[in-house]
């Protein structure tokens, strides 16, 4: 736990020289490292196989928790009026970024935090992966897919194969062929890339 502050630094306007800078001040340790590890593991399971599944990012360890809070006015719960939220972080074993999304009283949707707030949180986390150059970790929890979920598949290598062979190998995907050759000379995405089942793989014949 760090002491909160508002002003990071006071700078001289002409030269931008720092006159006064606020340093991080540790107040106390909130929980033990062992407890933190257990909580992060539990929150990773929320995203892999629980209510936060909409924030799952294939190949990355994401932890998170959904929230569905019914609002109150004059001491009474309002009907169909909720604050839906999701807080997520990654990598779950060594957090580099935390994202919190709260949506106040969305209309015409399922009133669940994971359904509504999970997807925008996922989009921000995916951008953070690129911006911070976060590498894919080892280990982590595999998602247990439900019948309604889109599934990730590994794209096989079809370079050097005939059109018929490539079509058969890429049966889980939509295939777009370019060129009039007899063999595949290039494919995109490449061998080993994981994409959603049914997504497009472009194959170039030469």
**pLDDT the model gives residue 157:** 95
Which pLDDT belongs to residue 154?
85
pLDDT at 194: 81
Mean pLDDT for each consecutive 10-residue tract of the chain (206 residues)? 94 93 94 94 92 90 94 92 94 93 88 89 94 85 68 88 94 92 93 85 93
Rg of the chain over Cα atoms, rounded to whole angstroms, equals 23
Q: What is the pLDDT at residue 120?
A: 95
**Whole-number pLDDT of residue 97:** 95
| pLDDT value of residue 148 | 63
Residue-level pLDDT at 9: 95
The reported pTM is: 0.66
What pLDDT does 168 receive?
Answer: 94
Domains and CATH numbers, the chain: 33-132 (3.40.710.10), 152-205 (3.30.10.20)
Q: What is the structure's pLDDT at 152?
A: 77
The 3 state secondary structure assigned to the chain is CECCCCCCEEECCCCCCEEEECCCCECCCCCCHHHHHHHHHHHHHHHHHCCCHHHCCCCCCCEEEEEEEEEEECCEEEEEEEEEEEEEEECCCCCCEEEEEEEECCCCCCCCHHHHCHHHHHHHHHHHHHHHCCCCCCCCCCCCCCCCCCCEEECCCCCCCCHHHHHHHCCCCEEEEECCCCCEEEEECCCCCEEECCCEEEEEEC
């Amino acid at each position: 736990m760090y002491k909160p502050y508002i002003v990071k630094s006071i700078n001289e306007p002409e030269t931008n020289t720092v006159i006064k800078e606020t340093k991080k001040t540790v107040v106390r340790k909130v929980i033990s490292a062992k407890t933190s590890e257990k909580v992060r593991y539990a929150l990773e399971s929320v995203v892999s196989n629980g209510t936060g599944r909409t924030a799952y990012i294939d190949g990355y360890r994401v932890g998170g928790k959904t929230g569905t809070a019914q609002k109150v006015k004059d001491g009474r719960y309002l009907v169909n009026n909720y604050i839906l939220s999701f807080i997520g972080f990654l990598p779950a074993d060594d957090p580099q970024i935390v994202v919190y999304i709260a949506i106040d009283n969305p209309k015409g949707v399922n009133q669940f935090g994971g359904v509504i707030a999970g997807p925008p949180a996922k989009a921000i986390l995916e951008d953070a992966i690129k911006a911070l150059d976060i590498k894919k970790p080892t280990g982590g929890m595999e998602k247990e897919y439900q019948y309604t979920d889109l599934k990730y598949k590994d794209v096989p290598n079809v370079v050097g194969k005939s059109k018929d062979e490539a079509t058969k190998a890429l049966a889980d995907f939509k295939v777009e062929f370019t060129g009039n050759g007899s063999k595949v000379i290039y494919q995109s995405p490449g061998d080993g890339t994981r994409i959603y089942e049914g997504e497009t793989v472009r194959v170039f014949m030469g």
